[in-house]
Amino acid sequence: MDKTKVGIIGLGTVGSGVARLLLDFGDRTGRHAGRTLWLEKAVVRDLAKARDCDLPASVLTDDIEEVLNHPEIEVVAQLIGGLEPARTIMLKLLESGKDVVTANKALLAQHGPELFDRARELGRSIAFEASVAGGIPIIANIGQCLSANQIESLFGILNGTSNFILSKMHEDGAAYADVLAEAQRLGYAEADPTMDVDGADAAQKLAILAHLAFGARVDWQDIPRTGIDKLDVADVRYAQEMGYKIKLLAVAQLVGDGLELHVSPTLVKAGTPLAEVGGPFNAIRVVGDAVGPLLFYGAGAGQMPTASAVVADLIDTAVGRTKITFKTLELWSNRQARVTANDYAQAKGRFYLRANVVDHPGVLAQIATALGRQQVSIASVLQHEAEEGSQVLPLVIMTHETTEGAAAKACEEIAAFKSVQGDLVRMWVRG
Amino acid sequence: MDKTKVGIIGLGTVGSGVARLLLDFGDRTGRHAGRTLWLEKAVVRDLAKARDCDLPASVLTDDIEEVLNHPEIEVVAQLIGGLEPARTIMLKLLESGKDVVTANKALLAQHGPELFDRARELGRSIAFEASVAGGIPIIANIGQCLSANQIESLFGILNGTSNFILSKMHEDGAAYADVLAEAQRLGYAEADPTMDVDGADAAQKLAILAHLAFGARVDWQDIPRTGIDKLDVADVRYAQEMGYKIKLLAVAQLVGDGLELHVSPTLVKAGTPLAEVGGPFNAIRVVGDAVGPLLFYGAGAGQMPTASAVVADLIDTAVGRTKITFKTLELWSNRQARVTANDYAQAKGRFYLRANVVDHPGVLAQIATALGRQQVSIASVLQHEAEEGSQVLPLVIMTHETTEGAAAKACEEIAAFKSVQGDLVRMWVRG
């Protein structure tokens, strides 16, 4: 049987998983690729470090030159996170004639154009299934399987940490900080969870998907985003009362000639597929103009799910499919962007608003008037009695369709009222 | 831009949809395939028949030789249903040097080995994404995206007609015959719905998926199957009362060295993703040993969803991906089957049983004893009072895990009791 020699850069969690699949299950790649994927070299920083995979001594090295200069290694899984030295290593790999497979979303979201242009110049390919939604093959599905469609919208739960925390807040009624601590204990959140909970991770993934699905070229940092790190469990309760669940949604949808693009905590109607995605799972709802709505659900992170995506890419690259896809899709090429992001303030939708108001007559009228000045009309109001001894009570308003800008402006105005304490809470509502 | 000339055989519902996508949206194939897919000829039986797509006169023909002998047509979408003349036409297309794309599941389930062997001999390819689950790209996902995995199980809602009927029976509490009539009126069921509601259609699709996912070679007619055509709405009600929904599930799962394989109405725990797939939609839950559980959801039939899958295959074939996949997967080759179906009677699970019993003392004891003789133990019993004036009441029993064979034997024995009227109802229970 033919053999394709493979290198791995970085034996962290995902790298060890990839090594295990290649070493322990060679029969599979034989069966699915018609050839053996042979792990020739795995490059690590520290040879002495303990790892959760057993590698032959001849495979392990701390010298990346052993991969770069190896004439028979054709494909390399580049599994180092962060921007540098990941970027430099990626360029070196391409320049050494290797096709590259990567799981590094931050790198692609930041340096996609440079890396893809360089790969094209050199006649090499980059595969990146594992960079978005872990084990869910969303890159292949959008890039290949839905080729007959104009994608109309894409709503994704793309951050497993946030989804785990939100699910727990819904199930247990526990506060954000407590659930985060539990998530860290269980390994669903990093010691520094910032990128996960502030929406940055989801925005990076959304930038990649928006490019793939719509040809948009956006800097992920320009995508309007709100995380879940300021979420009050009280709003989880009110959302539930009204028949919704709060999800961190990454949204890209065609509106007119442009793209609505943002990452936001969103009230999603309970019972709909996205609302019911629990725990650390991811899901993406894609609507194509021919196929209609599709939903893809699965593990968005974790060692073996991510390794599953990396090895699928290694196989695709070894058999020659990646080369074709890479060429036909022309991702991050110098072609003009097919679509640009709309002004976020013009994005239309319904909103959930919550103000803490001092309990005296006329407050609701005052707030309703402020909303009316921005043409924001009220669909429903939820107002509980003030707690024993408190003069402050939460006023929850669900709006009819309006624009993000009008809702924001009205909230700003309302927050300045003497009878309103603190900032207003404002979230999107879907379904 | 390069051009790949395409032929279509059969301009029925799906064929017209494919023609529309090719004629009206050429820019897409340009963007996703790096080339134009040019509809050169479309073969129909009756030139005079009205169709829902506008074709240039030079494209339409009733002479298949115009495709077979056309030196520049490279790929043909063969969209005729049934076994003959579909089989003969498929062979002729391959022999004329055309790569073929098809949506014909019955043809593949019946003649897969012959057709794939012939294609291999001739150096041609067959793509068949549209043959299972319509617009859901399940063939590509299992055949390519999950290549790093050993698939462990696959549970599919593969027949949209049955799912529409079941959903309606749950929602409206209406009887099977009434809902079927409604489905026919709405176009969700054929005038002759036999193949859809008796499980045959799902069994054909399951045979294809079981081959792709597990390397099993099964005649679809050997797959044990029960349809929904005998389903009593009373059982829908009882299932609901116990927190379940009835779904027609196609099951393929590794158990020991073999494959559990059947199509059965099944009580699925309400609130789980498969249970909540409503209307005419399809869904497939796949568990891979690396990736864990994945769910794919979407339209399993219909003109444009199916056309979406056909055109994706045309693009894959035009750019060269299909050729690679066809070669590496070696489907329906002379290789030995990797796995064979287990004896259905040995399949383990829990069962829902319902007997109509004459209301007198000792019946339950008699039935419980009969179950006990087959080592079937009872998990719960639901017994309502007899209706006014009736001596017969329904006795619903949920068993603990047992085997299909033991449950069947016990039911046979119980049905012979004098105090039991008619056959027993027996369904699988999952989740």
d(CA A89, CA B298): 40
CB atoms A330 and B294 under 8 Å: no
Q: What is the pLDDT of residues B90-114, one digit of tens each?
A: 999 999 999 999 999 999 999 999 9
Contacting residues of A for B294, CB less than 8 Å apart: 135-136, 296-298
Taking only residues 282 to 341 of chain A, the set having a beta carbon closer than 8 angstroms to any beta carbon of chain B reads: 288-299, 302, 304-305, 307-312, 315-316, 319-321, 324-325, 327-330, 338
Contacting residues of A for B21, CB less than 8 Å apart: 148, 290
Question: How far away is chain A from the Cα of B116, in angstroms, using its nearest Cα?
Answer: 17
- Mutual angle of helices B303-319 and B26-33, in 10-degree steps: 40
Contact A312, A131 (CB under 8 A): no
d(CA A372, CA B137): 47
CB atoms B324 and A329 under 8 Å: no
> Among B130, B152, B125, B155, which residue's Cα sits nearest to residue B140?
B130
Task: For residue B384, name the pLDDT band (cuts at 50, 70, 90).
Answer: confident
Sheet holding B60-61, edge to edge: B60-61, B35-43, B2-9, B73-78, B99-102, B126-127
Does the annotation flag B190 for ligand binding? yes
For the cut 90, the answer to whether the pLDDT of residue B231 exceeds it is yes
Contacting residues of A for B215, CB less than 8 Å apart: 31
Q: Which residue carries 């303990």 as its tokens?
A: A50
For the cut 80, the answer to whether the pLDDT of residue A269 exceeds it is yes
Q: What local confidence, expressed as pLDDT, does residue B387 receive?
A: 75
> Among B430, B405, B400, which residue's Cα sits nearest to residue B343?
B405
For the cut 80, the answer to whether the pLDDT of residue B255 exceeds it is yes
Does the annotation flag B112 for ligand binding? no
> Among B62, B352, B57, B329, which residue's Cα sits nearest to residue B231?
B352
Class of residue B150 by CB neighbours under 10 A (exposed 0-12, middle 13-18, buried 19+): middle
From the centroid of its chain, how far is CA B82? 16
d(CA A410, CA A44): 54
Q: What local confidence, expressed as pLDDT, does residue A285 receive?
A: 98
d(CA A255, CA B317): 32
A82 torsion bin: left (phi>0), alpha (psi -120 to 50), beta (else):
left
Q: Which residue carries 């199957």 as its tokens?
A: B225
A51-56 contacts at long range (C-beta below 8 A, 24 or more positions apart)? A51/A11, A51/A16, A52/A16, A53/A11, A53/A16, A53/A17, A53/A19, A53/A20, A53/A23, A54/A23, A55/A11, A55/A19, A55/A23
CB atoms B129 and A145 under 8 Å: yes
Average pLDDT, rounded, for chain B? 94
Question: How far away is chain B from the Cα of A322, in angstroms, using its nearest Cα?
Answer: 9
For the cut 90, the answer to whether the pLDDT of residue B53 exceeds it is no
d(CA B256, CA B130): 31
* Per-residue tokens: A222: 């320009």
d(CA A191, CA A207): 25
SS3 B380: strand
Q: What is the amino acid identity at position B48? A: A
- Give B4-65 as a DSSP string: EEEEEE--SHHHHHHHHHHHH-HHHHHHHHSEEEEEEEEE-S-TTS--SS---TTTEES-TH
Cα torsion at B216, B350, B205, B189 (round to 10°)? 170
For the cut 80, the answer to whether the pLDDT of residue B79 exceeds it is yes
d(CA B288, CA A136): 11
Helix (H) or strand (E) holding A395: strand A392-399
Question: How far away is chain B from the Cα of A365, in angstroms, using its nearest Cα?
Answer: 41
Class of residue B195 by CB neighbours under 10 A (exposed 0-12, middle 13-18, buried 19+): middle
Task: Give the Cα-Cα-Cα angle A424, A426, A427 (nearest 5 degrees).
Answer: 160
d(CA A127, CA A137): 12
Contacting residues of A for B308, CB less than 8 Å apart: 146, 148-149, 288, 290-291
pLDDT (mean) for A361-376: 93
pLDDT (mean) for A179-199: 94
Q: What is the pLDDT of residues A339-349, one digit of tens each?
A: 999 999 999 99
Contact B67, B100 (CB under 8 A): no
Q: What local confidence, expressed as pLDDT, does residue A118 receive?
A: 97
Q: What local confidence, expressed as pLDDT, does residue B31 receive?
A: 85
Q: Which residue carries 């158990």 as its tokens?
A: B255
> Which residues of A are designated catalytic?
205
SS3 B214: helix
**A197 phi and psi, to 5 degrees?**
-90, -15
From the centroid of its chain, how far is CA B188? 15
The closest CB to that of B296, out of A271, A288, A296, belongs to: A296
A2–chain B Cβ distance below 8 A for any pair: no
Residues forming a β-bridge with A353? A397, A426
d(CA A83, CA B362): 75
For the cut 90, the answer to whether the pLDDT of residue B337 exceeds it is no
Contact B29, B35 (CB under 8 A): yes
Q: How many Cβ atoms sit within 10 Å of the Cβ of residue A171? A: 12
Q: Higher model confidence: residue A386 or residue A131? A: A131
Q: What is the pLDDT of residues A279-306, one digit of tens each?
A: 999 999 999 999 999 999 999 999 999 9
Class of residue A184 by CB neighbours under 10 A (exposed 0-12, middle 13-18, buried 19+): middle
CB atoms B135 and A29 under 8 Å: no
C-alpha torsion sign, points B106, B261, B306, B268: positive
> Which residues of B are designated catalytic?
205
d(CA B151, CA B260): 13
Q: Which residue carries 């002998």 as its tokens?
A: B69
pLDDT (mean) for A264-293: 95
Does the annotation flag B418 for ligand binding? no
Q: Count chain A–chain B contacts defined by CB atoms under 8 A.
A: 194
SS3 A110: helix
A13–chain B Cβ distance below 8 A for any pair: no
CB atoms A144 and B312 under 8 Å: yes
Task: For residue B57, name the pLDDT band (cuts at 50, 70, 90).
Answer: confident
d(CA A14, CA A310): 9
- Chain A residue closest in CA terms to B283: A295
ipTM of the complex: 0.95
> Among B133, B131, B230, which residue's Cα sits nearest to residue B180?
B230
Full set of structural domains in chain A with CATH: 3-134+305-329 (3.40.50.720), 138-298 (3.30.360.10), 346-430 (3.30.70.260)
Q: Give the contacts of A267 (CB within 8 A, at least 6 positions apart).
A: A239, A242, A244, A245, A246, A352, A427, A428, A429, A430
Task: For residue B344, name the pLDDT band (cuts at 50, 70, 90).
Answer: very high
Q: Give the contacts of A96 (CB within 8 A, at least 6 positions apart).
A: A67, A68, A69
Q: What local confidence, expressed as pLDDT, does residue A52 receive?
A: 74
d(CA A113, CA A110): 8
pLDDT (mean) for B409-431: 94
d(CA B224, CA A304): 34
Q: Give the contacts of A157 (CB within 8 A, at least 6 positions apart).
A: A163, A247, A248, A249, A250, A274, A277, A281, A282, A283, A284, A300
Q: Give the contacts of A208 (CB within 8 A, at least 6 positions apart).
A: A105, A108, A109, A112, A128, A131, A132, A139
pLDDT (mean) for A163-181: 96
For the cut 80, the answer to whether the pLDDT of residue B200 exceeds it is yes
Q: What local confidence, expressed as pLDDT, does residue B99 receive?
A: 98
Average pLDDT, rounded, for chain A? 94
Task: For residue A361, name the pLDDT band (cuts at 50, 70, 90).
Answer: confident
Does the annotation flag B13 for ligand binding? yes
- Give A275-333 as a DSSP string: TT--TTEEEEEEEETTTEEEEEEEE-SSHHHHHHHHHHHHHHHHHTHHHHHHHHH-TT-
Q: What is the amino acid identity at position B305? A: P
Does the annotation flag B264 for ligand binding? no
Taking only residues 126 to 145 of chain B, the set having a beta carbon closer than 8 angstroms to any beta carbon of chain A reads: 129, 135-137, 140-141, 144-145
B31–chain A Cβ distance below 8 A for any pair: yes
Report the Cα–Cα distance between both ends of chain A, in Å, rounded: 52
Q: What local confidence, expressed as pLDDT, does residue B156 receive?
A: 98
pLDDT (mean) for B270-283: 92
Q: What local confidence, expressed as pLDDT, does residue B48 receive?
A: 85
Taking only residues 340 to 379 of chain B, the set having a beta carbon closer than 8 angstroms to any beta carbon of chain A reads: none
pLDDT (mean) for B402-417: 96
Task: For residue A271, name the pLDDT band (cuts at 50, 70, 90).
Answer: confident
Q: Give the contacts of A49 (CB within 8 A, at least 6 positions apart).
A: none
For the cut 80, the answer to whether the pLDDT of residue B386 exceeds it is no
Q: Of the ranges A75-84, A170-179, B381-390, which one carries the lowest mean pLDDT score?
A: B381-390
Does the annotation flag B300 for ligand binding? no
